[in-house]
Structure 1
Amino acid sequence: MINFDSLWNYQDPETTRKKFISILDSSPQNNNYTLQLKTQISRTYSLQQNFTKAHNILDDIAQIKERDSLTNIRYLLERGRTFNSANDHQKATNLFLQALEIANKEQYDFYIIDALHMLGISDTNSSMEWNLKALSVAEKTEEEKARNWCGSLYNNIGWGYFEMKEYEKAHHLFLKTQAWHEDKGDLQRTLIARWSIAKTLRMQNKMMEALAIQKKLESVYDDQQKKDGYVYEELAECYLSLEDSNYKRYAQKAYDELNKDMWLQKNENSRLQRLKKLAE
């Protein structure tokens, strides 16, 4: 059977869904393999903010009684992710707790970590606690797939410290994130880690260091013929702090790119409007 999880491109849920549906069309229906595949098809819709479609697919899965424990875990995780993306965090947290209970019972380290890391997102009052528990499992596990969570968890914990304004700790975690992804040869995630490091440096008023990193990132993306609104946004902030008029140009570029993001439009419109105003 095809390892459909390896086909995920979270930046392109539409293309990912087409691949999943192609596999589904050539597979027997409603066995545990295809039910798990359907949970991932549901996730592609959730990532596109189409929560009704995502829930409809999960409703169909819920009607199939002959589900094994792994299918149940994946069903609960995707139902929880869908609720969480729709800002229903309490329902999401309850579902992640159910998934964690089954994963612990079955000793599925990968899904124990997945559930813990999602609890770190949905249960904001205990976010750091959940993420540190997840990292503890990831660093001790003998499962390579489960250990691969480390990079994401270093990043998540780094942002947790960032939100707490503990910028030195955040900087340390982002350096670990960068080293992890460099070792894995993951260029895109390495670049994101560098962006995180630079943003943290800006918050520490180390403006020239932050600016230098963001300019290098802009150059890398230019070579790839890509535009990154988040890099433009940070460049705008750096130039603004330095009282350099280049901030207007980068604020406009940031707004043009980030305003295409439906999630940002819905959840961080004030951020977009600030960029628009800075560009004037």
Structure 2
Amino acid sequence: MLNQETLDRLWNFEDPAGSEARLRAAAADPAYDADARAELQTQVGRAMGLQGRYEEADALLAAIDPDEPTVGVRVLLERGRLLNSSGHAEMAVPLFEQAAELSDHLGEEFLAVDALHMLAIADAAHSETWTRSALEYASTVRDSRTRRWLVALHNNLGWTLHDAGRCTEAMVEFQLAEQWAERIGTPRQQELAREAIRTC
């Protein structure tokens, strides 16, 4: 199966078209086994969705065999993202819930946090609860790449609280995001954390 670092090298979320091209090339590479190529195909679908090509992406995801459990989780996640991005958040929620439960059962910690993070976006009425669940989960893992979620999650929770007028609590979250960004985050995450503190 793929590790997240492999996908990190292929992804540039600011350039979904370029990411799609790299992911397609990787998905056609016989150096990867069939399950890894299926995982890569789910990311092709994600890249297409980020370009607004929802029907194409949905058709691609529907054609992926989800029998391998981790592939199945990724299909659930990407179908949920497509629904959420295309204005059907309420339909995305049960897919993210399934993805969170299955990935936790499989020990796929990165994907479990990803699913909880997406629930916080799609289920806006319970955003704080889902984000706190994701934070609790991410804080218990050892993998440094998964722990990097702590930066984004504290930042997201900060903005949720800020938008609710809870500015003191928001500042605490932004400061925690900055602390985690300095410890394990990317330069871009460090920059965003500092910007959030200045904005609050």
TM-score of the pair, normalised by structure 2: 0.90
Equivalence for 2:182: 182
Confirm whether residue 41 of structure 1 aligns to residue 33 of structure 2.
Answer: no
Equivalence for 1:173: 173
Equivalence for 2:157: 157
Aligned mates of 1:145, 1:131 — CA distance in 2? 18
The one-character-per-residue Cα deviations of 1:204-227 (angstroms, maximum 9, x if unpaired) are xxxxxxxxxxxxxxxxxxxxxxxx
User: Would the alpha carbon gap of residues 185 and 150 (structure 1) be closer, same or farther in structure 2, given more than 3 Å must change?
Assistant: closer
8 Å CA contact retained: 2:16, 2:48 = yes
User: Which amino acid letter does the alignment assign opposite residue 195 of structure 2?
Assistant: W
The one-character-per-residue Cα deviations of 1:165-199 (angstroms, maximum 9, x if unpaired) are 11111112112212222233622222212222222
The one-character-per-residue Cα deviations of 1:199-248 (angstroms, maximum 9, x if unpaired) are 21xxxxxxxxxxxxxxxxxxxxxxxxxxxxxxxxxxxxxxxxxxxxxxxx
User: Which amino acid letter does the alignment assign opposite residue 92 of structure 2?
Assistant: A
Which residue, out of 20, 29, 43, partners 2:23? 20
Any gaps of 5 or more consecutive residues in structure 2? none
Aligned mates of 2:46, 2:159 — CA distance in 1? 24
8 Å CA contact retained: 2:151, 2:185 = no
Task: Give SS of 2:177's match.
Answer: helix
TM-score of the pair, normalised by structure 1: 0.66
8 Å CA contact retained: 1:151, 1:177 = yes
Confirm whether residue 132 of structure 1 aligns to residue 132 of structure 2.
Answer: yes
Which residue, out of 2, 5, 8, partners 2:7? 5
Which residue, out of 51, 57, 65, partners 2:54? 51
Task: Give SS of 2:63's match.
Answer: helix
Aligned mates of 2:180, 2:96 — CA distance in 1? 27
* Runs of 4 or more consecutive aligned structure 1 residues displaced over 4 Å after TM superposition: none
8 Å CA contact retained: 2:148, 2:180 = no
Moved more, 24-33 or 78-87: 24-33
8 Å CA contact retained: 1:28, 1:34 = no
Task: Give SS of 1:168's match.
Answer: helix
User: Which amino acid letter does the alignment assign opposite residue 108 of structure 2?
Assistant: Y
User: Which amino acid letter does the alignment assign opposite residue 164 of structure 1?
Assistant: A
Aligned mates of 1:171, 1:106 — CA distance in 2? 35
1:1-280 pair list within 5 angstroms: 4-7=6-9, 8-27=11-30, 31-61=34-64, 64=65, 67-184=67-184, 186-200=186-200
Shift of 1:109: 1.8
Any gaps of 5 or more consecutive residues in structure 1? 201-280
Aligned mates of 1:185, 1:29 — CA distance in 2? 28
8 Å CA contact retained: 2:27, 2:38 = no
